Amino acid sequence: MTDRAVTGHEYPDRLPAQRDVALVEVLDRALGAGVVITGDITLSLAEIDLVHVSLRLLIGSEPLFIGEQDQ
């Protein structure tokens, strides 16, 4: 049985546990991947690390929602 997490558009309509997983997925991708135009990313590493750490702790403790099927 797999759980389905959600993409950005569905985000507001889903339950908190699914949103938490989705947010980690979006952050992993948008902050850690994607095309980089050198020198123009202005994020501070400390900000990114803090977001990652807090959400990883959350994912470790929160039960995930099971059973809802995507349309």
Partner 1 sequence: MIYAYGIAEPSPALPPSCRGLGGAALRVLETEGLAAVYSRHRQLRPRPAAEQVLQHERVLEAVMACTPVLPMRFGTRLDSTDRLAAAVAGRRRELQAALDRVRGRVELGIRVLPTDPPAPRPPAPRAPTSGRDHLLSLAAARRRDERIAAQIHDPLHDLAVDSVVRERSTSPAVMVATYLVDTSQVDSFRRRADEVAAGHPDVRVVVTGPWPPYSFTGEGTA
Per the CB < 8 A criterion, the answer to whether 6 and 14 are in contact is: yes
How many chain residues bind partner 1 (CB under 8 A)? 40
Per the CB < 8 A criterion, the answer to whether 19 and 11 are in contact is: yes
- Per residue in 36-69, is it b (16+ CB within 10 Å) or e — as a string? eeeeeeeeeeeeeeeeeeebeeeeeeeeebeeee
Does residue number 56 form part of the binding site for partner 1 (CB under 8 A)?
Answer: yes
The footprint of partner 1 on residues 12-41 (CB under 8 A) is 21-37, 40-41
Task: Closer to partner 1 by CB, 2 or 71: give it.
Answer: 2
Does residue number 7 form part of the binding site for partner 1 (CB under 8 A)?
Answer: yes
Does residue number 60 form part of the binding site for partner 1 (CB under 8 A)?
Answer: yes
Query: Which residues contribute to the site for partner 1 (CB under 8 A)?
Result: 1-9, 11, 21-37, 40-43, 47-48, 51, 56, 59-60, 62-64
